[in-house]
Chains A and B, each alone.
Chain A
Amino acid sequence: MELEGELTDLSLDNLLNKSKVNGKDLRYGFQIGNLNLIYDAKIACELLKDIIIYSVPNTPKWMLGLINLRGNLVPVFDLENYFGFEPLENKYPLLLVLGKREKAVAFRVKAYPELLNDLVKEEFIPKLIPKIENHILVVYRGKKLWLELDKEKFFSTLGKMVCD
Chain B
Amino acid sequence: MTTNQLPLTKEESAKTAKLLDTIDLEKAVLLNEIDTLANPDSNHAVNNRASWQTIELQFREATFYLKVAIDQQIAGNQTAFKENLQLYRRNWQQIAFIIEKEIQQTALFNVVQLFNHKITYAIESEHELIAKQVGQLNKWQNLFAEFSHQQNDPQLLELLTDCINDSAWEETGFTNEKDLLISFNQALVELETIDPELSDILTMDVGIKEDAASFSLENEPITNLYHPIWDKISPYYDKSQIACDIFETEKTDNSLEALQAYIGCWLNIGEAIADEGFCELLNLIDLCLLLADNCQQLADNPTCLTPEYGPLLKEWQLLFKIYLHDVPTEQNLLLLIKVLENDLWFSPLTVEDRKLFLELNLTDELEENNILEAIPIQPEKIIAIPSTKIIVETKKINPEFIKMLSDEFVLLVRNLSPAMMDLSDAYAFQAILKVHYLKFEHLAKACETIELPGLAKVFKSVLTNIVEGCENKADFSKNERTLFNECLLLIQMYLMDVSNKKSASTLVNHLQTSDWAFPLDNSQALSLIQLLSAVEISSDSDNKSFEDRKTTAESTDICLKLPEDVNQELLNSLLNELPVLTASFSAMVQKIISLDLNLDHVLEAQRIAHTLKGSGNIVGITGIAVLTHHLEEILAYLTENQCFPTKALAVSLLEAADCLEMMSEVILIGETEEPDNALQVLQSILDWSNKIFKEGLPEETQSLEAETNLPVTTNNEQTVTVQTSKATETVEMTRVSSQLIDKLLRITGEESILKEQFKERINHFSEELKTLNQLTGSMQTLVLELDQSITLQSHSTHNKTIDSEFDSLEMEQYNELHTATSRIAEVATDIRNLNITMDEKLIDLKYLMRDEEVVQKESQQIVQSIRMVPVSTISSRCQRIVRQACRMTNKEIGLTIQGNEVLIDSKILNGMIEPLMHLLRNAVDHGIESKTIRQKNNKTEIGKINLEFTRKGNYVVIRCQDDGCGLSSDSILHTAIKKNLITAKQSLTKAEIYKLILMPGFSTRTNATQVSGRGIGMDVVQTKIASLQGQMSISSVEGEGLSIEISIPQTLSSMLSLLVRCNGCTMAISNHGLEKIYHADDYELLENNRCQIATEQYTTRYFAELLGMPITGDETKKSPALRISDETGKTYLVFVDELLGYRNLLVKDMGGYISHIQGVTGASILGNGEVVPVIDLVEMLHHAVKYDFLSVDATKGMINKVGELPMALVVDDSLSARRTAVMLLEDYGLEVKTAIDGLDAIKQIEDKQPDIVLVDLEMPRMNGIELSAHLKGNKETEQIPIIMITSRATEKHRKQAKAAGVAKFMLKPFSEESLINNINELINVF
Task: Say yes or no: A73 contacts B1195, CB within 8 Å.
Answer: no
Chain B positions 12 through 50: 1 when the CB is less than 8 Å from some CB of chain A, otherwise 0: 000000000000000000000000000000000000000
Q: Is there an interface contact between B1189 and A55, defined as CB atoms closer than 8 Å?
A: yes
Find out whether the CB atom of A51 lies under 8 angstroms from the CB atom of B1171: no
Say yes or no: A90 contacts B1227, CB within 8 Å.
no
Taking a contact as CB atoms under 8 Å apart, the answer to whether B1151 and A71 are in contact is: no
Size category of the binding interface on chain A: 35 or more
Among A55, A57, A61, point to the contact of B1159 (Cβ < 8 A). A57
Q: Which residues of B contact A155 (CB under 8 A)?
A: 1153
Question: In the bound complex, what is the Cα–Cα distance between A101 and B1149 (angstroms)?
Answer: 11
In this assembly, does B1229 line the interface, its C-beta being within 8 Å of a C-beta of chain A? yes
With A102-B1152, A158-B1153: A58-B1192 Cβ-Cβ less than 8 Å: no
Pick the contact of A52 from B746, B1152, B1172, B1229 — CB < 8 Å?
B1229
Q: Which of B1156-1176 contact A (CB under 8 A)?
A: 1156-1160, 1163, 1165, 1169-1173, 1175
Q: Which residues of A contact B1180 (CB under 8 A)?
A: 58
A4-B1198 Cα distance, complex, nearest whole Å: 28
A25, chain B: closest CB distance, angstroms: 25
Q: How long is the Cα–Cα vector from A158 to B1151 in the complex, in angstroms?
A: 12
Closest to B750 in A: A71
Asked whether A52 lies within 8 Å of B1156 as measured between CB atoms, the reply is: no
Q: CA A74 – CA B1173 in complex, angstroms? A: 13
| Residues 745-795 (chain B) with a chain A CB within 8 angstroms | 746, 750, 753-754
Chain A 61-91, CB-CB to B under 8 Å as 1, else 0, gives 1001111100111111010010000011111
Docked CA distance A105–B1154 (Å): 10
Q: Taking the complex as formed, is B489 at the interface, i.e. its CB lies under 8 A from any CB of chain A?
A: no
Contact A90 B1153 (CB under 8 A): no
Asked whether A163 and B1155 contact (CB < 8 A) given A53-B1192, A90-B1198, the answer is yes
Residues of B within 8 A of A52 (CB): 1170, 1193-1195, 1229
The verdict on B1148 contacting chain A, using a C-beta distance below 8 Å, is yes
CA distance A56 to B1065 in the complex (A): 10
Residue in contact with A73 in the complex, picked from B754, B1156, B1171, B1198, CB distance below 8 Å: B1171
State the CA gap A75–B1156 with chains docked (Å). 13
A-B CB pair tally, cutoff 8 Å = 142
Q: Does B1219 contact A (CB under 8 A)?
A: no
Decide if A95 is an interface residue (CB 8 Å cutoff): yes
Decide if B1186 touches A58 in the complex (CB within 8 Å). Answer: yes
Which residues of A sit under 8 angstroms from B1186, Cβ to Cβ? 58
- The CA-CA distance from A59 to B1157 in the complex, in Å, is 7
B1191 at the interface (CB under 8 A from A): yes
Tell me whether B1163 and A56 are in contact (CB under 8 A).
Answer: yes
**Residue in A closest to B1188 when the chains form the complex, CB atoms:** A61
Q: Does B693 contact A (CB under 8 A)?
A: no
Segment 1072-1093 of B: residues with Cβ below 8 Å from A: none
Distance from B148 Cβ to chain A, minimum over Cβ atoms (Å): 58
Q: Tell me if B1172 and A54 are in contact (CB < 8 A).
A: yes
The reply on B1026 being an interface residue by CB < 8 A is no
A58 in complex: contacting residue of B1151, B1159, B1195, CB < 8 Å? B1159
A142 within 8 A of partner (CB): no
Interface residue B1185 (Cβ < 8 Å from any Cβ of A) = yes
Q: Hey, which chain B residues are within 8 Å of A160, CB to CB?
A: 1155
Tell me, yes or no, whether B806 is within 8 Å of chain A by CB.
no
Q: B1151 near A57 (CB under 8 angstroms)?
A: no
A124 to chain B, nearest CB (A): 29
Asked if B1190 contacts A55 (CB within 8 A), the reply is: yes
Task: List the B side residues contacting A162 at CB < 8 Å.
Answer: 1153-1154, 1157
Q: Is there an interface contact between A55 and B1153, defined as CB atoms closer than 8 Å? A: no
Contacts of B1170 in A (CB 8 A): 52, 54, 68
Contacts of B1228 in A (CB 8 A): 50
In whole Å, how far is B1105's beta carbon from the nearest beta carbon of chain A?
11
Q: Let me know if A93 and B1156 touch, CB within 8 A.
A: no
Q: Is the CB–CB distance between A73 and B1165 below 8 Å?
A: yes
| B1197 near A58: Cβ-Cβ < 8 Å | no
A57 CB contacts on chain B under 8 angstroms: 1067, 1107-1109, 1157, 1159-1160, 1173, 1175, 1185, 1187, 1189
Given A54-B1170, A162-B1157, A73 contacting B1163 (CB threshold 8 A): yes
Q: Which of B750, B1151, B1188 has the most CB of A within 10 A?
A: B1151
Distance A67 CA – B1148 CA, assembled complex (angstroms): 12
Q: Contact between B1163 and A66 (Cβ–Cβ < 8 Å)?
A: yes
Query: Which B residues are CB-close (under 8 A) to A67?
Result: 1171, 1194
- B1177-1211 to A contact mask, C-beta < 8 Å, 1/0: 00010000111111111111111001000000000
Q: Which of B1154, B1163, B1190, B1194 contacts A51 (CB 8 A)?
A: B1194
Q: Give the docked Cα–Cα distance between A64 and B1197 (Å).
A: 11
- Check B570 for interface membership: any CB of A closer than 8 A: no
Does B98 count as interface, using CB distance less than 8 angstroms?
no
A73-B1199 contact, Cβ under 8 Å, with A53-B1192, A56-B1160, A163-B1155: no
A24 near B: Cβ within 8 Å?
no
Q: How far is the CA of A50 from the CA of B1225 in the complex (A)?
A: 12
The complex places the Cα of A55 from the Cα of B1187 at a distance, in Å, of 12
Are B1169's CB and A60's CB within 8 A? no
B1324 nearest CB neighbor, chain A only: A90
A residues less than 8 Å from B1171 (CB atoms): 54, 65-68, 73
Asked whether A156 is an interface residue with its Cβ less than 8 Å from the other chain, the reply is: yes
User: Looking at the complex, which one of A53, A68, A102, A104 makes contact with B1194 (CB distance below 8 Å)?
Assistant: A53
| Minimum CB distance partner of A61 in chain B | B1190
Which of A50, A71, A88, A159 is in CB contact (< 8 Å) with B1154? A159
Residues of A with C-beta under 8 A to B1195: 50, 52, 93
Chain A residues, CB < 8 A from B562: none
Bound CA span A75–B1171, Å: 12
Q: Are A54 and B1229 in contact (CB under 8 A)?
A: no
Q: Does B1326 contact A (CB under 8 A)?
A: yes
CA distance A162 to B1156 in the complex (A): 8
Chain A residues within 8 Å of B1065, by CB: 55
Q: How far is the CB of A78 from chain B (nearest CB, A)?
A: 7
Q: How far is the CB of B571 from chain A (nearest CB, A)?
A: 28
Once A56-B1163, A58-B1107 are accepted as A-B contacts, the answer to whether A105 and B1153 lie under 8 Å apart by CB is yes
List, in ascending order, chain B residues with CB within 8 A of A163's CB: 1154-1158
**Assuming the A-B contacts A58-B1108, A60-B1187, are A75 and B1153 also in contact, with contact meaning beta carbons closer than 8 angstroms in the complex?**
yes
Q: Is A103 an interface residue (CB 8 A)?
A: yes
Q: Tell me the complex Cα distance, A67–B1170, Å.
A: 9
A160 vs B1199: C-alpha distance in the bound complex, in angstroms? 22
Q: Which residue of A lies closest to B753 (CB)?
A: A71
Q: How far is the CA of A102 from the CA of B1169 in the complex (A)?
A: 18
Whether a CB of chain A sits under 8 angstroms from the CB of B1150 is: yes
With contacts A58-B1160, A162-B1154 taken as known, whether A65 is within 8 angstroms of B1107 at the C-beta atoms is: no
Residue from B1158, B1173, B1180, B1186 with most neighbouring chain A CB atoms (10 Å): B1173
B1190 near A75: Cβ-Cβ < 8 Å: no
Q: For A57, A65, A89, which residue has the most chain B Cβ atoms within 10 angstroms? A: A57
**What residues of chain A lie closer than 8 Å to B1159, measured between beta carbons?**
57-58
In the bound complex, CA of A90 to CA of B1316 (Å): 13
Q: How far is the CB of A109 from chain B (nearest CB, A)?
A: 12
Q: Could you tell me the distance in whole angstroms from the C-beta of A103 to the nearest C-beta in chain B?
A: 5
A104, B1151: Cα distance in complex, Å: 7
| A155-B1152 Cα distance, complex, nearest whole Å | 10
Minimal Cβ-Cβ distance residue in A for B1164: A73
* Cα–Cα, bound, A156→B1151 (Å): 11
The answer to whether A68 and B1157 touch (CB under 8 A), given A57-B1175, A73-B1148, A104-B1151, is no
A61 to B1165, CA, bound (A): 22
For B1165, the closest partner residue in chain A by CB is: A68
Find out whether the CB atom of A55 lies under 8 angstroms from the CB atom of B1151: no
Closest 5 interchain pairs by CB? A90-B1197, A159-B1153, A102-B1152, A54-B1171, A93-B1197
8 A–B contact pairs at CB < 8 A? A50-B1194, A56-B1160, A57-B1109, A58-B1157, A87-B1199, A103-B1153, A108-B1194, A163-B1155
- Additional 5 contacts, C-beta under 8 A, given A55-B1191, A57-B1160, A88-B1197: A55-B1192, A55-B1202, A66-B1150, A103-B1153, A159-B1155
